[in-house]
Structure 1
Amino acid sequence: MPHNYFNMKKTALVLALFCFLLGGSAYAQTTADAAKPQGTVTGATTLIDKFFKAYGKESTNAAVMGLFKTNKLVDSTKLVDLVSKIDAERALLGDYHGKELIVQKKASGSLVLYSYLVKHEKQPVRFTFMFYKPKNEWMIYRLYFDDQVETELQDSAKL
């Protein structure tokens, strides 16, 4: 692949956006949730599902702005920068072909992390969402976007 394409690997592209936002409510797992991975947090996963629906059918802008629209603390210029950076990478990666859950971690009932392999035509990338629930509502706490999933997989195979 072209050298410019892998330039993002050299710089270890890791975009971190630290912010809070109001998210969907958390619900206890019920039998209807049995098909979901154990420990799934419905409020957080609802936000993630909406994000990827917009990412695939609309645009990066719609996905990011939709995720952060209720957060009054977010500087919209930072969101525009984030969208621009992701879109620049998407132009190199090709069409979006879906997502797969890599890992979910639950530090407590109030702090959860979901990491997804995001499939594009030329290369996968990873989106990692961290949600925090200080009271009754889930908020996006951190959003990471990077292309290091392949490297980490190779490193995990080493002795």
Structure 2
Amino acid sequence: MSDARTRLDKINTRIRNNPVLSLLIAVSTLVIGLSTFTNATRNLMDLFSGAEQRPAINGLWQAQVSYDWPNADYQESFNFAGSDTQLYGSASFTGSMNGILEGAIAGDTLRFITKTPESLGSGPAQEAIHRYQGKIVGDEIEFVMQTEGGYSAHVPIEFTAKRNSNPPPTQPAPN
């Protein structure tokens, strides 16, 4: 006589006849269900509570920067944009605007780089990379900027950028 039961029927019968295995499967299912529900609830609560909200840094910032060579005091501008952890916009270096690259913001810390050509006499230009790291403190950002590459070595520069409180001028409405 042949056994007409399928493999699934045999497994089902074995589970029913073994209370420890049945209990283990039930507890495992409950743990997985609770874990999934807990993670989904946490994600919803973070969404509604605004946990880890991006600081309101978008807009124009200015800083007086003293570089590490003689007579090198510049009024620099930073125009930040982005959302979530993304940061883009522009930053000036010795008064010349450059695009922000590899910008990121996490909590109250932001990081980005800019690149500028550096030339010496009639020789070819070399690329200087400026790495910025800033800590947001109210309406100020405390920066450290390190330059690498180019024709000369530089020490890290520390400066504080302040939010530009003067809105840009508006164009009069046409008549």
Query: Is the pair's TM-score, using the shorter chain for normalization, greater than 0.5?
Result: no
Give the alignment's TM-score, normalised by structure 2.
0.28
User: Which is higher, the Rg of structure 1 or of structure 2?
Assistant: 2
Give the alignment's TM-score, normalised by structure 1.
0.30
From the two aligned structures, give the one with the greater strand fraction: 2
From the two aligned structures, give the one with the greater helix fraction: 1
Q: Which has the higher contact order (CA 8 A, sep 6+)?
A: 1
